[in-house]
Amino acid sequence: MRTIAAMNPTVTPIKTRPDSANEPRPPLRNSLAGHALYLDIDGTILDLAPSPEAVEVPVWMVPLLQRLASKLDGAVAFVSGRTIAAIDHLFRPLIYPAVGVHGGEVRAPNGEIMVDEQLTAELQSVEPLLQEAIARIRGVQLENKRSVIALHYRNVPERGREVLKVAELVAGGLGSQFGVLMGKCVVEIRPRHLTKGSAMRRLMERAPFRDRIPIFAGDDTTDEDAFEVVNGLGGISLRVGEAVPTAARFQLATPDQLRGWLLEVADA
């Protein structure tokens, strides 16, 4: 994997709110022209917090996203583990195309929200069993996102293996269509075919995303399949966080650095 510094070592510092605005950035072809922007949220454009409800959105973030959307003719989408309803609440009043619940929900540019209702119903049938199981593991929180059920153990990271075992047992009982996905102090039970990458492909079939070069920024193992999709299309895949093995072609160390880059390209 190439670091951004290796690709673009001499960048004029910009005066922006992020402290790291003078860090090198991934190169763009002719500024933002012809690109589409797909953004993960927690740990990517926003700093991680002890709980999803505790994240903070910088006051200038919504205006920045509006500027980016204007430059890209609306080709900006959120790609998150959050539900679409939670995304809308976080960035209100923006209502942008979105991939929610790691691909379990997709909102098209026309506002249509697509969900696999049959698999969602099957997953919902095991929530009582999961609630009973995690009641024995103090500090673990269950988040029911309908098409995905997440077990958060950020407050008790030492219990991660127990949480994973519970999730694997329950997913196994649901059948081969369901699997377990691990993220940062979270384990999710989800339909196997629903991923960020597959959901992004659905958006790419529609205007204004069609025939544009994709840029995707993420921070977690749940973003790896989307990095591969973007790489296959000749786009820019960018992972935020510590250096780890990844399919992403570029890396920034912190969400603050990514926010600085977005401010820069919005002004390009």
Q: Which residues are identified as catalytic?
A: 40
Q: The dihedral of CA 66, 70, 74, 75: what is its sign? A: negative
- The pair of structure tokens assigned to 78 is 């959120």
SS3 state at 89: helix
- The pair of structure tokens assigned to 205 is 């079939």
Helices and strands in the chain: count of H runs, count of E runs: 9, 12
Which residue type, as a one-letter code, is found at position 140?
V
Q: Is the peptide bond before 63 cis (omega within 30 degrees of 0)?
A: no
CB within 8 Å of 182: residues ≥ 6 apart? 164, 188, 221
Instruction: Give burial (CB, 10 Å; 0-12/13-18/19+) of 2.
Output: exposed
Instruction: Give burial (CB, 10 Å; 0-12/13-18/19+) of 114.
Output: exposed
Strand residue runs (E) in the chain: 35-39, 76-79, 98-100, 105-107, 113-114, 141-144, 149-152, 178-183, 186-191, 213-218, 236-240, 250-252
Whether residue 130 contacts residue 151, with contact meaning beta carbons closer than 8 Å, is answered with yes
